[in-house]
Each structure stands twice: as structure tokens, then as C-alpha cells.
Structure 1
């Protein structure tokens, strides 16, 4: 296995917090779940939480946070590593070879479409870096990681820029910053982010997904 260096990723706890913040903001900005890019489920299983990205174009990232660590499975449908790009449908050889069994098991749920993968990254508890398997990577081939992990906005400014383009709505930076800084999500804060959103409905969904407390 080799150390994952690009794009850089925060430690699992910080990454989980980041994904929770982004999921909460998307939920507030968009009533329809299927149109949201960032999602998070605090009750994915008895001992797992799960964050995901879905750009609506067939590209998906799943991140499972478990007692053993965290594992990321990404799929770029246009990547030459896609099983759909092979002469014989199948996962590109070696992508999963060195993933620790305890973490590999976490992404074998049918909901993750295990075979649809173009990159896989993991970090076990106690590790100081993220890792990926060592396998043949033809020159010039892209696995989609730079593109898809770029959706993980890491600042209020980057989320504001992305969301204003995606949702086609102006977004108050101070309100976005408040969510990033762990402010209590109230009806007033929801209204400042998205005046058209049903605040009570948003609060109920935030509570169901474990997103009311982000600090």
C-alpha cells in the first residue's frame, strides 16, 4: 500500500465533521433530497456513520466512519478505471487488494455498489496518513478523486461559492460561517440561509439525521 497524498484529506474525525456541516447546509438549501450533493447519516448502522457525495451525473463517493477507522469509495463514471469501461465488466485489478479486511467489509453493503469503484482510500485508527492500494495506473488515466473530493468544501467561502453556482441562489456568508463554526441551527439561521425553506421541516430532518449539533 502507499500513502495517499493528493488531494489532501483531513483526519477522519475532522472529515466527518466537515461532511456533517456540508450535509446540513445542503439540506437547508434544498428541500428535495435527490437534488442534494452532500449527505450524512448518523444512524447508518449500529456502529457506523456514513457521509456521501452524489453530483447527480453518475459520480458518487461514500465515506464510512467505523470503530476501525474510515474508508472512502469513489466512483467517476467517466474514468477509464470504471468497470463499465473494461472489455469485461469488473473492478480494476488491485484497487481493493490492500484495504484492511475490517474496513473493506464496511463498503460491501449492497447500497454502495461495491464493484463501481475508481478509487478507494482508507485510514485506520492510529494511522498518521490515508492510504490506497498499489496497483497498475496507466499514464494519463484519471480516477476521479481530484474532481469528486473537490466537492468537500473546507471553508465557508468555498461552500458559498460552490452553493451559489449549484443552487443558483445568493447565500449569506455570515450564515454559512455560523454553521461551519458550530452555531446552533435555529429557524432564524435557516431563514438567513434560505428564506424559502420550511424551517420546521428542515429542523425535523436535521434532527433525524443527527445534524442539529455540528460542533
Structure 2
């Protein structure tokens, strides 16, 4: 993984989640959901097609765990699951981070990486010959405004104003007028306001 710090990752999460909220008020269409429980901030990516990614932030520790249902590493689709895959994938992960996941969430894993020092160093036990969908799933966590515009056009069929999108990517927030220019409804504006509170607590 690229050398991304916790602050850079948080900015990218904010940008994607806010843009997703602005583009539709239909929660079932959105890729991202997010929340906070105590000092744990969580984001879950779900494309509705069986692929998911969990990003859990707890202090200086972060876990990014993904599941590409078409990957050969998908043990749920295997005739005989390779439980050694899970042992290797999570080897060395602090138990406090493993306990953030329910067992069925752990079963939905084709890649996993984590940091305990705010992104100075990342740990991953990758499989050989395949990344388990890591590159394309984590590709959504971009800081490229052009990629955001292309995604909005491909996924939502909407053309975004580039300069406003670029500001969102660089700042992780926009004014209400700017959000409306992206297409945000009044309902979405309220949801975005609530979302921003999880970072302020």
C-alpha cells in the first residue's frame, strides 16, 4: 500500500462519503455508510453486488479489510474453505482490532491491512499471485478529483462541477451552496451535517 497517513485516509473517507450523500438521498444506492461508537469511527463500503470494505479507525490504529466476492481468495465460495488463509491474513493483528469484527465479517475477507501508528507503517500478509481485490476496492479511496468525477458519471450518471469536486477532495468539506451545486437535497444536507459530527466528537 502507498504510504498514506491517518489524516490523509480520513480526508479521503470524508470526501467519498460526503460526495456519495450529496449525489443521492437513497441510502440503499449509496456505496458508503458511516458512524461512530465511542472512540471508534467506522466506514463500510458496499456496492450491492457482494463486495465490501470495512475501514475502522480507533485512535492511531486503523484496519482496512476488504472482500471481493469474485476473488479466488473468497473462502465462502470455496468447496473446501482454506482456514489457513485466515490465520495467515490476520497474523500479527492486535487482538483489540480483531475484536472489532463479528465472525461473519471476518469470514468475508480477501485482504486486510492495518496500522497502529497512524499510518507511519502498515502491516499486511498478502497472498501470492493475487491481491484479493485490494487495488480496485481501495481505488475508491482516491484523492484525484478527476476519478471522483468519472465515478459519479459512471455510477450515478451525473456530471460534477470539477472545481467544486476538487475543493471537496482537498478540504474534505463544502458549504451548503457548494453541496447543492453537486446535487445535494435538503435531506442530504442534514445527513451530511450529522455525518460531520462523528469527526468532531
The normalised TM-score by structure 1 is 0.81
Following TM superposition, the consecutive aligned residue runs of length 4 or more in structure 1 with deviations greater than 4 angstroms are 211-214
CA distance in 1, matches of 2:4, 2:120: 10
Residue 70 of structure 2 is aligned to residue 78 of structure 1:
yes
Deviation at residue 85 of structure 1 after TM alignment: 3.0
Contact 1:172 1:193 in 2 (8 A): yes
Please give the secondary structure, in 1, of the residue aligned with 2:196.
Answer: coil
Residue 98 (structure 1) aligns with: 92
Q: More helix per residue: 1 or 2?
A: 2
Contact 2:6 2:60 in 1 (8 A): no
CA distance in 1, matches of 2:38, 2:44: 18
- The runs of 5 or more residues in structure 2 that have no matched partner are none
Quick check: 200-209 or 75-84, which moved more? 200-209
Residue 13 of structure 2 is aligned to residue 24 of structure 1:
no
Residue 58 (structure 2) aligns with: 66
CA distance in 1, matches of 2:43, 2:190: 19
Deviation per residue, 1:20-77 (Å, 9 max, x gap): 1110011001111121123332x2x111101222222111100100025101110000
Contact 2:111 2:134 in 1 (8 A): yes
For residues 99-114 of structure 1, what are the structure 2 equivalents within 5 Å? 99-106=93-100, 108-109=101-102, 113-114=105-106
- Size of the alignment, in residue pairs? 198
Cα pair distance change 1:151/1:65, threshold 3 Å: same
Deviation at residue 88 of structure 1 after TM alignment: 2.8
CA distance in 2, matches of 1:65, 1:203: 24
